[in-house]
Chains A and B, each alone.
Chain A
Amino acid sequence: EDQVTQSPEALRLQEGESSSLNCSYTVSGLRGLFWYRQDPGKGPEFLFTLYSAGEEKEKERLKATLTKKESFLHITAPKPEDSATYLCAVQAETSYDKVIFGPGTSLSVIP
């Protein structure tokens, strides 16, 4: 069964304190891995898609990386506006019409 787990469940950082969020996945052939950001009371907002192991993508203070079993979202020198829930999701080769989401990591960046 396709499955996505994320850790930690919650993370509290001081402004400027870099860290990483983890997304571990089990799928029968990965077609794509996605990262979304969700602010309280709003719908998720797309950040990145990664397709193959070794791929990296960056956007401002965020960098996403992918291995055969997990993905990391690295946050460099975070600011309070980076506070949000970060969701990881996967799409399997065998069920490419469905996207399976993980439970998310709630990030708080303290000034």
Chain B
Amino acid sequence: NAGVTQTPKFQVLKTGQSMTLQCAQDMNHEYMSWYRQDPGMGLRLIHYSVGAGITDQGEVPNGYNVSRSTTEDFPLRLLSAAPSQTSVYFCASSPSTSGGRDEQFFGPGTRLTVL
């Protein structure tokens, strides 16, 4: 199993550009989530999904969209990038529909810089 994969690993955007961060898992996990990690602030939940077709907002959802058309994929879209979105983004998955009841498996991260 590849586990949780994320692409790209690095990305530089200009303010106002849009892009999609890709996340895929091959463990048949129902729960998937997106976090951003900024220095001194830990991981903050952006959006999560408890199954295909079901998504919900986390702590910091503004400026981001998600969809979940399959169990395997959970892309994160930045509609109009802003410098405040410069961060490291992590995708995670869990076998439990309650999310944290079981361990979450994290991807390697995408380092995004918005100029």
Answer whether residue B100 sits at the interface, using C-beta atoms and an 8 A cutoff. Answer: yes
Given the contacts A31-B101, A91-B99, A103-B42, A97 and B56 also touching, CB distance less than 8 Å: yes
| Nearest A residue (CB) for B44 | A101
Question: Which of B33, B40, B103 contacts A103, CB < 8 Å?
Answer: B40
CB-based contact B45/A44 at 8 Å: no
The dominant DSSP class at the A interface is: strand
Stretch at the interface among B12-20, B62-70, B104-112: B104-112
Among B31, B103, B109, which residue has its beta carbon within 8 angstroms of that of A46? B103
Q: Is B43 an interface residue (CB 8 A)?
A: yes
Residues of B within 8 A of A102 (CB): 42
- B98 touching A96, Cβ below 8 Å: yes
A34 CA to B94 CA, complexed, in Å: 13
A-chain residues with CB within 8 Å of residue B90 when the two chains form the complex: 43-44
Mark each residue of chain B from 34 to 59: 1 if its CB lies under 8 Å from any CB of chain A, else 0: 01000011111100101000001011
Cβ-defined contact, A101 with B43, below 8 A? yes
Which of under 10, 10 to 19, 20 to 34, or 35 or more describes the interface residues of A? 20 to 34
Contacts of A87 in B (CB 8 A): 42-43
Residue among B41, B102, B108 making CB contact with A43, cutoff 8 Å: B108
In this assembly, does A59 line the interface, its C-beta being within 8 Å of a C-beta of chain B? no
A32 and B100 in contact, given A44-B90, A87-B43 (Cβ under 8 angstroms): yes
A91 CB contacts on chain B under 8 angstroms: 98-101
Q: Is the CB of A49 closer than 8 A to any CB of chain B?
A: yes
- B residues with CB within 8 A of A: 4, 31, 33, 35, 40-45, 48, 50, 56, 58-59, 90, 92, 98-109
**Sample of 12 further A-B pairs with CB below 8 A, known A44-B106, A96-B99:** A31-B100, A43-B109, A46-B105, A49-B101, A87-B42, A87-B43, A91-B98, A97-B48, A97-B99, A101-B43, A103-B40, A103-B42
User: Interface residues, chain A, CB within 8 Å of chain B?
Assistant: 4, 31-32, 34, 41-46, 49, 87, 89, 91, 96-104
